[in-house]
């Protein structure tokens, strides 16, 4: 029973990170394509990503007009995902 819960959590974490990563990529693409038809989608991606971009931008401001916060966020998301996965796998082996 406990391993089943951990397995479900494992896949939920994977999906959550994949979905959020996709939102970040869509936000990046929409920043390159300022189309009025996609304004609502852009508003959504900004609402979803800005809370995590903001602290990164405070630490590392844009250089030469290039905002590196999305790239840094993607790296951090990958690291956090790996940490969570390792914790879940250790829990599964302890049960």
**Domain range for 87:** 2-54+65-94
Encode the chain (95 residues) as per-residue pLDDT tens digits.
778 899 999 999 999 999 999 999 999 999 999 899 999 999 999 999 999 999 999 999 998 989 999 999 999 999 999 999 999 999 888 87
What contacts 30, CB < 8 A, 6 or more positions away? 38, 41, 42, 45
Q: What is the tally of structural domains in the chain?
A: 1
Sign of the dihedral through C-alpha 52, 66, 72, 30: positive
What contacts 88, CB < 8 A, 6 or more positions away? 6, 9, 10, 13
- Determine the angle formed by the axes of helices 2-32 and 39-59, rounding to 10 degrees: 100
Could you tell me if residue 60 is inside a domain? no
pTM of the model: 0.89
Q: What is the pLDDT of residue 49?
A: 98
């Amino acid at each position: 029973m406990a391993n089943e819960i951990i397995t479900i959590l494992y896949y939920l974490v994977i999906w959550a990170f994949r979905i959020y990563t996709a939102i970040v990529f869509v936000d990046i693409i929409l920043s390159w394509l300022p189309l009025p038809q996609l304004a609502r989608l852009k508003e959504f991606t900004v609402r979803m990503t800005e809370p995590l971009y903001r602290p990164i931008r405070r630490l590392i401001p844009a250089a030469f007009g290039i905002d590196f916060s999305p790239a840094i966020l993607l790296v951090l998301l990958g690291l956090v995902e790996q940490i969570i996965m390792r914790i879940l796998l250790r829990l599964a082996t302890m049960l």
